[in-house]
Amino acid sequence: MTRHLLPLLFSALVPALSAQTVDTIGGATTAPLRTATSKASLFRVDTSVLLLDYEMYLNVPGVETLTFFVHRYHSRAGIYTLEWTANVTVNGTGVGPAFYSTGPIALPLVEGNHYQIGVGWPGSLSYHYITSATNSPVSFGAWQRAQTPGFPVPTSFSIPAGHDSAMYYQRLTTVPLPAVDIIGTGCAAGSLIPRLVASGVPTIGTTKSLDLVDAVANTLAVYSVALGHTTAVPTPLFGCDVWLDLLAPIATSAVITSATGIAGQSLSIPADPSFLGVLLSAQAGVLSAGIDMTNALDLVVN
């Protein structure tokens, strides 16, 4: 896993530097001492952003190697996968409590997903927190809960639906990322309204996943990916909204949802610079008692 994604996302990052936002959450009310552990916060992302810096307020008594990390999942509860990690050696001798940083990074936090962001350490040091209610707002979404994934940081980690109220003292610096946008909302004949979520920013030479979630289990679903962005006004179909331009070139594929109502479709972008800036849109339909539709996605290839 690479620490720096700046070369891949430079074109999206530079115009937005003037729009940096720093979210400071948590506080220093409580300061436990822990050895060989990690502390993380779960965030719901409602607007796609680039994370430029992540800082945790710690009391590091000497030389320590901090492991910063990010896990992702398309929903709040489930099995999160490690997407990024970086080791930073610091010396807190005589410093006292202070913010410790990842240093410059450019990590996409994509709309519709949940991310666990935190830091681990092998030695003994103090972290700081206050208690807070779930869904506490941040500029790009909401803080959900605290987590203790352990150390070494696991490559996958199960996060339950409950709430841990420890809001660690931390800062997140972000800029807007106009590369993945959710358009409209899904609609369904029953109580399950399916969602379509991109696992990451479509980037030349990479494969991302279009994740269909909250759908009817064990049933047929059809993905559609169109060239160009969604239309300003949707087309009504089966009582739902179709946001794709039906006159544009459209590729379709069929899948069967899992027993938990989840499916995935790979979106591969050729390693060809001519694809930079290409606009795409995507939406999925699910066969249930009628035809359920997801939200749509607007995508920009980076």
CATH of the domain at 48: 2.60.120.820
184 and 146 inside one domain: no
For 11-15, 26-30, 53-57, 272-276, which range has the lowest pLDDT when averaged over its residues?
11-15
Q: What is the mean pLDDT of residues 181-200?
A: 94
Question: In terms of residue numbers, what domain contains 249?
Answer: 180-300
Q: Is the pLDDT of residue 249 over 50?
A: yes
Q: What is the 3-state secondary structure (H, E, C) of 52-105?
A: EEEEEEEECCCEEEEEEEEEEECCCCEEEEEEEEEEEEEECCCCCCEEEECCCC
So what's the pLDDT on residue 1? 37
Percent of the chain whose predicted confidence (pLDDT) is above 90 = 90
Total count of domains within the chain:
2
Do 71 and 215 sit in the same domain of this protein?
Answer: no
Domain match, 13 and 139 both: yes
pLDDT tier at 7, thresholds 50, 70, 90: very low
Cis peptide before 270 (omega within 30 of 0): no
One domain, residues 227 and 289 = yes
pTM for this predicted structure: 0.92
Residues near 273 by Cβ (< 8 Å), separated by ≥ 6?
A: 204
Domain end position, chosen among 140, 156, 176: 176
Looking at the fold, whether 229 and 277 belong to one and the same domain comes out as: yes
Rounded to an integer, what distance in angstroms lies between the CA atom of residue 15 and that of residue 271? 24
The CATH number covering residue 225 comes to: 2.60.40.10
Grade residue 267 by pLDDT with cuts at 50, 70 and 90. Answer: very high
Residue 91 and residue 151 share a domain:
yes
Q: 148 and 82 in one domain?
A: yes
Average predicted confidence (pLDDT) for the chain: 93
**Could you tell me if 101 and 239 lie in one domain?**
no
Of 125, 143, 176, the domain-final residue: 176
Is residue 68 one of the residues assigned to a domain? yes
Under the banding of pLDDT at 50, 70 and 90, the label for residue 233 is: very high
Q: Is the pLDDT of residue 293 over 50?
A: yes
Report pLDDT for 17.
57
- Asked whether the predicted pLDDT for residue 237 surpasses 90, the reply is no
At 89-130, the pLDDT tens digits run 999 999 999 999 999 999 999 999 999 999 999 999 999 999
**Average pLDDT in the 157-183 region?**
96
Indicate whether 266 and 187 sit together in one domain.
Answer: yes
CA pair distance 255, 286, nearest whole angstrom = 10
Whether residue 1 is contained in a domain is answered as no
Last residue of a domain, one of 148, 176, 204: 176
* The token pair that represents 247 in the structure block: 């006159």
pLDDT score for 6 = 39
Give the confidence band of 191 by pLDDT, cuts at 50, 70, 90: confident
Judgement on whether residues 203 and 232 belong to the same structural domain of the protein: yes
Question: Is residue 19 located within the same domain as residue 165?
Answer: yes
Same domain, 245 and 134: no
